[in-house]
Homo-oligomer: A and B are copies of this chain.
């Protein structure tokens, strides 16, 4: 942020000095391609990309966390199925996002980042961003569908065609791909233990190729929700630093649609409407997964500054501290709540896990916009909210084996709204989404930001939930969604994957010394001899 300004001032002042001296030598020295100016630009680009791409690697690793949380909190008989979904969602999603997703989401990206206004963007015009990642002029500039400031769908960058030499865009692709993957993985939790593997594959394509790019593009890809500040004067437009909305609420909304259509697991609800607790098979794996997710979140949130110089660095560091505080507060709140008023009156492991995740989801949108105390408050509320929401959805007869909906949907909503309440008008956020003022919530006198945030929530719910509900209905109609009751009762591992999660040791049968000697392989006999 300041960096760019300084470069500018430097570039403006220098020629004057040089001209005054009546010497033309300075220009070549400081020309575009050489001298400290050019080197500093190169260093700046490197630092920004390094920060973002390292963040992307950490977010990738969250896939291991999701795999373990989902598998740990489901049953032994479905281990291979649940693990494989979490491994393959990345593979399928990466290809799907490369084919069409990235193009739909960012193919007509409009500047949505700080300094856009300062850099001379005229209100009503479109520019190409983010400015931290080099010059994107003329690239990702083709919308498929747009009405004035209301962008709907991008239309360039399919299979990264045409962007092959712009490393800023390539790195951005990697970063955005892993975010999409997080959204795609969330519904595997709510439909675990009963979804057909082919249904999962189709869902992965649905999320990576279309529904996530469509809706997330509205908030991050220069779409209409992001531009509500410039178009309708609603604060800075919808503001979401790292994706409580675009990632978690989208994922949670799809998870909700999926859970509704696929229905509860056999035995989850009794005839009297009461619910049974179906414990997962491994607290070790579940808790390990939670710590991995927390670790990865330090890439998710701070990495979303997309840069690490000047104001971008400041926002990244603030995001890191707030992530730490909100996740911790969420865990403490949920543990304490369950200990004091939960059914077991004990510090419940499962809800403590979900409290941490809830705090992390809730701070994801506001992480760079709020003070530390606000992060603690947001986390504490998230930790209680996730406990309540878990009860609500059970009352609605929705079966969500790992709590994907309470964690990602409800706290995604809470996180998006929290920006509109707690954003503290930090000057480093001025010009966000091309609106000159800083991002400011209700508590700091910003009265319209909360409206933009509410529109973000509403649009995500209507479209991500609505369209996905139809999608899952179609899958169900073609009998591609749910395994048979026999398979479900037996466990999905053998029928769907061909192997158990934890097979018993295979042993050679009927083996005597003669057999051993008759075995093919030169060393079998020798091995036997060595045993004497």
Contact = CB atoms under 8 A, between A and B. Distances in A.
A202 interface: no
A99 to B, nearest CB: 10
A345 to B, nearest CB: 8
A391 interface: no
A39 B80 contact: no
Interface in A247-277: 261-264, 266-269, 271, 273, 276-277
A205 to B, nearest CB: 11
Given A88-B331, A482-B523, A22 B22 contact: yes
Q: How many copies does the complex hold?
A: 3
Given A327-B91, A373-B159, A261 B523 contact: yes
Contacts of A526: 263, 476, 482
Interface stretch (A7-15, A219-227, A235-243): A7-15
A328 to B, nearest CB: 4
B10 A37 contact: yes
A105 interface: no
A376 interface: yes
A355 to B, nearest CB: 8
A42 B499 contact: no
A301 to B, nearest CB: 11
A298 to B, nearest CB: 4
A47 B49 contact: no
A180 interface: no
Which of A75, A279, A321 has its CB near the most chain B CB atoms (within 10 A)? A321
Given A42-B3, A291-B87, A499 B60 contact: no
A266 B290 CA distance: 32
Interface in A18-76: 18-47, 49-51, 53-54, 56-58, 60-61, 63-64, 67-68, 71, 75-76
Interface stretch (A140-148, A163-171, A463-471): A163-171
A422 interface: no
A498 B321 contact: no
Interface string A160-198: 100010010011011001000000000000000010010
A interface, over-half SS:
helix
A485 B37 contact: no
Given A23-B21, A505-B281, A269 B519 contact: yes
A45 B47 CA distance: 12
A27 B47 contact: no
A347 interface: yes
A509 B278 CA distance: 13
Nearest to A515: B271
A2 to B, nearest CB: 4
A16 interface: yes
Interface stretch (A302-310, A413-421, A440-448): A302-310
A1 B266 contact: no
B13 A34 contact: yes
22 contacts: A1-B310, A6-B42, A17-B28, A17-B29, A36-B40, A39-B44, A43-B309, A47-B47, A54-B54, A56-B320, A57-B299, A84-B283, A91-B356, A167-B314, A167-B317, A266-B516, A271-B519, A277-B506, A483-B527, A484-B528, A484-B530, A485-B528
Given A14-B29, A30-B36, 11 more contacts: A1-B114, A1-B309, A4-B115, A13-B35, A53-B317, A75-B506, A83-B288, A86-B287, A159-B373, A284-B502, A489-B507
